[in-house]
Amino acid sequence: MGSCKIWDYILVGGGLSASVVTHRLIESNPKLNILVVEAGPDASDRPDIVWPNSTNLVGGDFDWAYNTVDQQWLDNRQVDMPAGKALGGGTVINAGGWVRGDKVDYDLWGSIVDDERWTYEGLLPFMKKSETFWDKRINPTQHGLKGPVSIQSVTSTNREFPLRDHVLRSWGELGLSPLEGLDANAGTPLGIGELQENKKDGRRQIASSVYPLHGATVVTDTLVEKILLERKGGKLRAKGIKLANGTDFRGSNVLLAAGAIRSPQLLMLSGVGPADELAKVGVPVLLDQPAVGKNLSDHGLFAHLWNVKDPSAGWAIGSGNPLFEQEQYGWGGPMDFLTTTDVCKEGLAAAIEEDEGVAPDPETHPLLSGPRAFAEHVFMYAGAADGSKVTFILITLLPTARGSVKLASASISDPPLIDPNFLGSAVDRYVAREALKTQLKFATSTEVGRDILDRELGAPGFDQVFTTNSTDEYIDARLRAGLGTSFHPMGSLAMGSVVDTDLRVKGVEGLRVIDASVFPVPITGHLQVAVYALAEQAAEIISKGA
């Protein structure tokens, strides 16, 4: 493999999107010369990552282990930001939740960029193409049965938990209903859906394994320093890449697939980005593009633990319940359901007015004009080795605050400055507070709260614990002290501002971005589903020569 060779396609990053696009391009034309360069190793056969109880995931060997800058609305804390560093990217270390999000998000995306291919209906064929759903009878128009990614559920693996019916009835007491077929992946997730995961009999589905890279040249443990750009006839064009070790590779097309943190960093180090930011670190400006690195968002995550009144009843993992010794109970997350909720629109309107300075029109404002998937509730039957505790997790799905990725230096070896701006809007603070109140009602006032749970454990630095009488001030303080990331960064090279609807970087020929950084709006799902669909469509667009 010599540096003088001209590759048809060079993919920067070997994660989820790169695996899909590479596989599909070679499938459509086996004669293509494709180079994939991944900073991490090939971990596909590592036994310490492929099972749900693996210990080498977040914080392990295959994690970039980023940190944010001080978060103003989180008591100026820095937050850990895990990201997959291996062939397969985030699919090597993620939890495996298979969650599409709300149809409304995708339709807003398509509307913003004025291209129906990026609406829900436009992406649905590619969502279906990527998956093998376990039951052809459940929402058959919404699911694929022949895709590379195997999907499992709690019932498909025969691992219903003892608390299942109690939890279902308790959500019902709060006015929430089960979705048809308990399927939250049919475009309308508001309500109660059964946990779905991209696992096969519990085994992790790594993107580079289920979309094999046969026919491509794959280089691992190799860091790309920048994209090589040249200007001819007044036009800027990508001509290849430069590695951190000084080696150059030439290519007719460069596909940037390094994720929502590394992709904007690489683009800026290559001379494309906000001129003032590049000048600060001494990077020559080839194209002043102010939107590069802007529009970053991430789903916040907040966890709190609750005591079980009678651990010997066998409700939680570790309690000694012989049911949990059956193999399939180790095949997925210790929960039955994911529950998705909206928030009260009256309070939401007041928060919007605080952020935007004018009273919103409830008929036209996108957050008010219809139901939205603001929060995901995960009631997990685990929290202590002896089965004496359970965990409640809140995921804020629809942030309105936007953050940024900026250069810390002109070196690729230095992580960029990552600012998700968690809870950075009045809307985000209102949503987190109100969603947490819903969880407190569940944990204290429903069947589960009355009969099974005792009290919340509290948190270091706080004298009180959560109750239904907790004040807004106390709830806000706990959120500031404890909220972190769901590992879902997106939007930092947004479609419409940085890339066009064919994923081409505006102002640069021969360069596209094919990862979650192109999402112009937050997707209220766990991002791998949307990225699989994005990558499937990207491969089709590229194959057709758009």
Q: Which of 143, 299, 304, 488 does the annotation list as catalytic?
A: 488
Unique residue bearing structure tokens 């397969």? 88
Residue type, 221: D
String of DSSP letters for 23-66:
HHHHHH-TT--EEEE-SS---TT-TTTSSTT-SSSTTSTTB--E
Contacts of 394 (CB under 8 A, 6+ apart): 300, 301, 302, 303, 375, 376, 377, 378, 432, 435, 436, 439
H helix intervals, 131-225: 164-173, 207-210
512: three-class secondary structure by DSSP = strand
Q: How far apart are CA 512 and CA 505, in angstroms?
A: 5
In total, the chain counts a number of residues equal to 546
Q: How far apart are CA 19 and CA 251, in angstroms?
A: 18
Distances in Å between the Cα of 373 and the Cα atoms of 156, 183, 236, 452 are 26, 15, 41, 28
Q: How far apart are CA 485 and CA 476, in angstroms?
A: 17
Q: How far apart are CA 74 and CA 483, in angstroms?
A: 7
**Other beta carbons within 10 Å of 344:** 11
Strand order in the sheet with 9-12: 217-219, 34-37, 9-12, 254-256, 511-513
Whether 63 contacts 39, CB under 8 Å: no
Whether 13 contacts 532, CB under 8 Å: no
203: three-class secondary structure by DSSP = strand
Q: How far apart are CA 532 and CA 128, in angstroms?
A: 10
Is 499 annotated as ligand-binding?
Answer: no
- Identify whether 488 is a catalytic site residue: yes
341: three-class secondary structure by DSSP = strand
Instruction: Please list, residue by residue across 63-74, b when 16 or more beta carbons sit within 10 angstroms of its beta carbon and e when fewer do.
Output: bbebebbebebb
Q: How far apart are CA 337 and CA 161, in angstroms?
A: 10
Q: How are beta strands 453-456 and 417-419 bridged, if at all?
A: unpaired
Known binding-site positions: 224
Known binding-site positions for FAD: 224
**Which positions are catalytic?**
488, 526
